[in-house]
Structure 1
Amino acid sequence: MAKVTHVKKACTVNPLKMSQPIGAALAFMGLRGAMPLLHGSQGCTSFGLVLFVRHFKEAIPLQTTAMSEVATVLGGYENVEQAILNIHKRTKPEIIGICSTGVTETKGDDVEGYIQLFRERHPELASLPLVYVSTPDFKDAFQDGWTKAVTRMVEVLVRVPAPGAVRDPGRIAVLPGCHLTPGDLEELRTIIEDFGLRPSFLPDLSRSLDGHIPEDFTPTTIGGIGVDEVATLGEAAWAVAIGEQMRPAAEALRTRAGVPFRLFPRLCGLAAMDEFIMFLSAASGRPVPAKYRRQRGQLVDAMLDGHFHIGGRKLAIAAEPDLLADVAGMLREMGAEITVAVTTTHSPVLSGIDAAEVLIGDLEDLERLAGERGCDLLVTHSHGRQAAARLGIPFFRVGIPMFDRLGAGHLLTVGYRGVRDLIFTISNLVIADAEQNHQPTPESWRLTEEDGAADGAQQKGQAA
C-alpha cells in the first residue's frame, strides 16, 4: 500500500492540479443543450474556456456571471439573474449548470437562495432546469468538481420512481469518471450494446465533445444525454460507476431511486476488463461475444510483446487520482516500477497503488524526484513536456490538458483494444527513444535482436 503524502510548499511552482469549477463545467458539457455558467469573474471562465478549446479543438459553450469587485462585495444575485436571462434569450438551453468559484465562495453567496428567488420573480422560466454545484477553486481539484456536479445532477434531475415501478432489465446507467475520454465512452457503449444492453451515460461526452461536425450551429452543447433521459435513470436495472470518484453519484442514485450499483475502480488492464466483461455477461444473461474473446487474446499477445520494452522501466507519473491508478496500474502489471507518483487531491484509490509513496504535489515535484530516482519513462499531461525534455526520457501524454497533440478526445485507455493499443504506443515511444539515443533495445541486453524475437515467440507458444 502506498503512503499518501501532501507536499507542503510556499507555492505551486509548475501546476499539475486544475480547479473544481472547470471539472464541474466539463461534466455539464456531457448534457444535451447545456450551458455551463461559472459564478465568478470573467478571468476564471476565460481560463477554463481556453484550456478546453486547446484540448478538444472544439467550440466550447461556457458563460460567466462576470462578477466585478463591487458585485462581489454586495452580493451576486443581480449578476446571476441577468446571466440566466441572457443565456435563455440568446441560446435557448435545455439546462443551465451553475458552478461557483473561489471569489463567490469566499463572499458566501447563497446561490441556492438566488435560484429560488429567480423562480419567484420569473415564473415564465419555471420549466428551465437550473442545477447549482458548490465548487470553490481554493480547495480540492478537477476530479472533485466533476464528482460533485454529477452527484448534484442525480439529486436534482433524476425522477423518483413510483412505488412498485418495474425496472427495465435491459437498461444500464453508466456513471463515468472524468479520466475517461469521449473515445473511451464510445468504446464502452459499443461493448455494453454488444451484450444486448442499453446504456445511458451521465455525463456523456462521447456525444458532445467527440469532434463531430453538426448539421447546424448551436451555441450550447451539440450532444450528450438529454435532461429527459436523465430523469428516467431510476428505471435502470443497474448502475455502473467507473472510477472511485463516482461512488458518491452512484450512492445518490441508489438513495434516490433504489438503483443497485457496481463500482469498477479501473478499466485499464487485462484483469480489470475481464471483471467488467463478466459483469456484463451476468447482467445480460448472455455469453461473451466471440469478438471480445479474440480481442482479449490480442491483448495478451500485446502484453507479451510489450513487456520487453516496458518491464523494468522506472515510471514517473502525475495525474488525477483515478487516471493515475488506471494507467499506472496497467504499467505496473506490465513490469514497470512506479518510482514516482504525483497526484492532485486525496482519494481512497491512492492507498491501493503499488508504489512506496504517492505525493499530492505539482510537476516540479515530479521532475525533481524523477531525476533523483533515475526514472526513464514520464507520464502526465502536456505541461510535463519540458520536464521530460530536460530529463531526456520518453514522455507519454495522458489526461487534460493535451494541447500539443491531436486526438486527445479519442485516446483509448479502456477495452481490450484500447489497452492493447496503449501498450503498443508506449512501447514504441521507448523503442524510438532508444534508437534516437543509440541505446540497445531491451531484447538485445543479453541477446541479439533475432534471438530476442525468437525468444519472445517461444514464450508466446508456451503461454498458449
Structure 2
Amino acid sequence: MAIVIQSEKACTVNPLKTSQPLGASFAAMGLEACMPVLHGSQGCTSFALVLLTRHFKEAIPLQTTAMDEISAVLGGYDNVETALLNIRKREAPRIIVVCSTGLTETNGEDLDGHLRAIRKGNPELFNTEIVYVSTPDYVGAFEDGYSKAVVEIVMELVEPLPAIYRQISVLPGSHLSPRDVEELRVIVQSFGLDPIILPDISGSLDGHFDSEWRGVTRGGTTLEQIRAAGASSFTIGIGEQTRAGARALQEICGTPFEIFERLTGLEPNDRLLRLLAQLSGRAIPEKYRRQREQLLDAMLDSHFYTGGIKVAIGADPDMLLSVGSLLHELGAELSVCVSTTPSPAHALLPASEVVLGDLEDMERAAGNCDVLITHSHGRQMAARLGKPLMRVGFPVFDRVGNAHRCQIGYRGTMDLIFEIANLMLERIQFRAPKD
C-alpha cells in the first residue's frame, strides 16, 4: 500500500493535472448530440478546447457562457440563459451539460436554481435535457470532474425499468481511449451480451471525416440508451473513478455492480472474462485463450528489458495504477509516483509512496530513474534529465493516433508491454559503444 504525500509547495511550477470542468466536458463528449457548456470566462473554455483539440486532432464542440467582470460581480443568470437559448436555436442538441468553473463557484452563484428558472421561463428548452455538474477547478482534477459528470448524467436521465437479462451497463474511466472503449465493447459482445456504454467516446472521438460541420457531438451514447440503462441487469466499471456512477445506478435501479481497478494486465482481464462468462452463461471464446497465451509470451520476451529498471510515473490515479501495476508485474521498480488527486486507487499501487504534486516534484526525484512516464508536458523534463519519455494520459499533443491507442484487454496489454520494452531496448542500444 502506497503512502500518499501532499506536496507542500506554495505554487504549482509545471502542472501535471488538468481541471474538473475539462474532465466533465470530456464525459459529455461521449454523449450523442450533446453540447458541453462551461459556465465561466471565455478563457477557461478556450484553454479546455485547445487541449482537447490538440490531443484528439479533431474539431471539438464546446461552448461558454462568456462571463466578464460585470457578470462575475452581479451574477451570470443572463449569460446562462442567453447561452442556452443560442445553443438550442443554432445547434438543437438533445443534451446540454453545463459545468461550473472556479469563477462562478467562488462568487456563490446558485446555478442549479438558475437552470430551473430558465427552463420554466423558456418553453423551447423543454425538449432539451440539461444536466448541471458542479466542477470548481480550484479543487480536484480531471478524473473528479469526469466522475461527477457521469453521476449527474445517471441521476438526471436514468429511471428504473424492468431488468433485461442480457443487457449490462459499462462505465469506462476517463483514462481509457476511444480504442480502449471499442475493445471493451467487442469483449462484452463476444459473450452475447448487449452493453450500454456510458459515456461512449468510441463513437464520438474515434476520428471522423465529415463533409458537413456538426455543432454537437457525433456518435456516443444516445439519450434513449442512457434511459435504457435503467433496465440493465449488471454494471461494470473500469477504474475507481466509476464507483460513484455505479453506486448511483444501484441506488436508482437496484443494479448490482463490480468495479475493475484496471484492465491492463493479466489477472484483471482473467477476472473480467470469468465475470462475463458467469453473466452470460457462455464459455470464454477460444480467441481469448489464444490472446492470453500471446500475452504470456510477450511478458516473457519483454521482462529481460523491464526487469530491475527504475520508473518515474506522473498521471491521474487510475492511469497511474494501470501502467504502474503492469510495470511492477514486469519486474520494474516504481521509484517515483506523482499523481493529481486523492483516490482509493493509490492504496492498490505497488509503490512505497505517491506524491500529490506536479511535474517539478517528479523531475526533482527522477534523477536516478531509467524511464519517465507522463503526458506531453513532461517532454522538457525528459530533455533536461536525458531520460526516455513514454507518453500516457491526457494531454498527448506531440504524437498522433491517441484515439486509436489500445492499452486494455490481452491485446492492448501486449501492445503496451512491447512499447515499454522497445523504449528500453532503444536506450540500451543508444548507450552501447559504437564499432
| TM band (smaller chain) | over 0.9
Alignment partners' CA distance in 1, 2:282 and 2:380: 49
Equivalent positions of 1:433-444 (< 5 A) are 433-438=427-432
Alignment partners' CA distance in 2, 1:274 and 1:215: 42
Compared with structure 1, are the counterparts of its residues 350 and 439 closer, same or farther at alpha carbon in structure 2 (3 Å cutoff)?
farther
1:378 paired to 2:378 = no
Alignment partners' CA distance in 1, 2:49 and 2:179: 21
Task: Decide whether the 8 Å contact of 2:95 with 2:129 is kept in 1.
Answer: yes
Equivalent positions of 1:207-356 (< 5 A) are 207-214=203-210, 216-356=212-352
- Worse-superposed segment, 385-394 or 28-37: 385-394
The two structures have a TM-score, normalised by structure 1, of 0.92
Q: Letter of the aligned partner of 1:322 in structure 2?
A: D
Alignment partners' CA distance in 2, 1:53 and 1:128: 26
Q: 1:2-30, CA deviations, whole angstroms, 9 ceiling, x for partnerless residues?
A: 11000010110100010000000000010
Alignment partners' CA distance in 2, 1:216 and 1:419: 37
Alignment partners' CA distance in 2, 1:48 and 1:368: 28
1:430 paired to 2:424 = yes
Alignment partners' CA distance in 1, 2:406 and 2:172: 14
Question: Structure 1 residue 212: deviation in Å?
Answer: 2.5
Q: 1:200-219, CA deviations, whole angstroms, 9 ceiling, x for partnerless residues?
A: 11000000000132464311
Q: Letter of the aligned partner of 2:17 in structure 1?
A: K
Gaps of 5+ in 1: 441-464
Q: Letter of the aligned partner of 2:431 in structure 1?
A: N
1:117 paired to 2:117 = yes
1:360 paired to 2:320 = no
Q: Letter of the aligned partner of 2:402 in structure 1?
A: A
Task: Decide whether the 8 Å contact of 2:73 with 2:107 is kept in 1.
Answer: yes
Task: Decide whether the 8 Å contact of 1:36 with 1:61 is kept in 2.
Answer: yes
RMSD (Å) for aligned C-alpha atoms: 1.0
2:85 maps to 85
Task: Decide whether the 8 Å contact of 2:160 with 2:231 is kept in 1.
Answer: no
Alignment partners' CA distance in 2, 1:249 and 1:314: 35
1:418 paired to 2:402 = no
Task: Decide whether the 8 Å contact of 2:295 with 2:410 is kept in 1.
Answer: yes
Q: 1:405-453, CA deviations, whole angstroms, 9 ceiling, x for partnerless residues?
A: 011112111010000011111111111122122269xxxxxxxxxxxxx
Question: Structure 1 residue 389: deviation in Å?
Answer: 1.8
Q: Report percent identity of matched pairs.
A: 54
2:171 maps to 175
2:391 maps to 397
Q: Letter of the aligned partner of 2:231 in structure 1?
A: E
Task: Decide whether the 8 Å contact of 2:28 with 2:199 is kept in 1.
Answer: yes
Q: 1:281-321, CA deviations, whole angstroms, 9 ceiling, x for partnerless residues?
A: 11111101010000000000000001000111101000000
Aligned to 1:295, what secondary structure does the other structure show?
A: helix
Compared with structure 1, are the counterparts of its residues 11 and 160 closer, same or farther at alpha carbon in structure 2 (3 Å cutoff)?
same
2:190 maps to 194
Question: Structure 1 residue 126: deviation in Å?
Answer: 1.2
1:70 maps to 70
Alignment partners' CA distance in 1, 2:109 and 2:31: 26
Aligned to 1:232, what secondary structure does the other structure show?
A: helix
Aligned to 1:13, what secondary structure does the other structure show?
A: coil
The two structures have a TM-score, normalised by structure 2, of 0.98
2:107 maps to 107
Q: 1:78-126, CA deviations, whole angstroms, 9 ceiling, x for partnerless residues?
A: 0000000000111111110000000000011111111110111112321
1:95 maps to 95
1:449 maps to none
Q: Which runs of 4+ in 1 moved over 6 A?
A: none
2:155 maps to 155
Alignment partners' CA distance in 1, 2:337 and 2:433: 26
1:145 paired to 2:145 = yes
Name which one, 1 or 2, has greater alpha-carbon Rg: 1
Alignment partners' CA distance in 2, 1:380 and 1:146: 19
Alignment partners' CA distance in 2, 1:378 and 1:125: 49
Question: Structure 1 residue 153: deviation in Å?
Answer: 0.3
Task: Decide whether the 8 Å contact of 1:313 with 1:376 is kept in 2.
Answer: yes
Alignment partners' CA distance in 2, 1:217 and 1:359: 43
Task: Decide whether the 8 Å contact of 1:33 with 1:95 is kept in 2.
Answer: yes
Task: Decide whether the 8 Å contact of 2:94 with 2:127 is kept in 1.
Answer: no
Task: Decide whether the 8 Å contact of 1:214 with 1:222 is kept in 2.
Answer: no
- Worse-superposed segment, 420-429 or 212-221: 212-221
Alignment partners' CA distance in 2, 1:221 and 1:259: 28
Question: Structure 1 residue 278: deviation in Å?
Answer: 0.8
Aligned to 2:302, what secondary structure does the other structure show?
A: helix
Gaps of 5+ in 2: none
The number of equivalent residue pairs is 434
Aligned to 2:380, what secondary structure does the other structure show?
A: helix
2:13 maps to 13
